[in-house]
């Protein structure tokens, strides 16, 4: 079973994601960017990362930057799930290497299709 890492400080979003993804994927959750980076550096390699941009200690943009600059983690696909609908921020994330950018609120079925398209490439 494929593993998805969710990095989001909002437990309501995390719980929603767990609810509709856990029957298809193993779910790991982290609440801030530094904790996410540390978990990955400990040798954990998910098949996909879903991250919010507003994370404590290390925001989502910087997390994407560090992961994509790293030799170890640059191939892990990243979906940004954010309440920020600013096109400048969206373009910045995509230029840094995010594979998709979805604005909250979102349709769970839409997210599942995007996850499957990314993981099955």
Bridge partners for 49 per DSSP:
5, 78
DSSP track, 91-104: HHHHHHT-SEEEES
Q: What is the pTM of this model?
A: 0.96
Q: How many residues does the chain have?
A: 121
Give the model's pLDDT for residue 121: 72
Cα distances (Å, whole numbers) of residue 15 to 5, 87, 91: 13, 27, 28
Domain spans in the chain, listed from the N-terminal domain onward: 3-119
pLDDT at 61: 97
Peptide bond into 105 cis (omega under 30): yes
Confidence bin at 7 (pLDDT 50/70/90): very high
In whole angstroms, what is the distance from residue 105 CA to residue 13 CA?
Answer: 10
How confident is the model over 15-56, as pLDDT tens digits? 999 999 999 999 999 999 999 999 999 999 999 999 999 999
Across 89-112, average pLDDT: 96
Q: What is the CB neighbour count within 10 angstroms for residue 25?
A: 19
Under CATH, domain 3-119 is a member of which superfamily?
Response regulator (3.40.50.2300)
pLDDT at 119 over 80: yes
Q: Helix 108-119 and helix 11-21: axis angle, to 10°?
A: 70
């Amino acid at each position: 079973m494929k593993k998805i890492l969710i990095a989001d400080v909002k437990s309501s979003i995390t719980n929603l994601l767990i609810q509709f993804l856990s029957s298809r994927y193993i779910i790991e959750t982290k609440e801030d960017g530094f904790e996410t980076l540390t978990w990955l550096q400990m040798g954990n390699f998910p098949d996909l990362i879903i991250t919010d941009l507003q994370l404590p200690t290390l925001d989502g943009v910087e997390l994407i930057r560090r992961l994509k600059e790293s030799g170890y983690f640059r191939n892990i696909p990243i979906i940004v799930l954010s309440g920020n609908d600013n096109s400048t921020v969206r373009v910045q994330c995509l230029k840094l290497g995010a594979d998709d950018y979805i604005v909250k609120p979102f349709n769970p079925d839409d997210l599942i299709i995007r996850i499957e398209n990314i993981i099955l490439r």
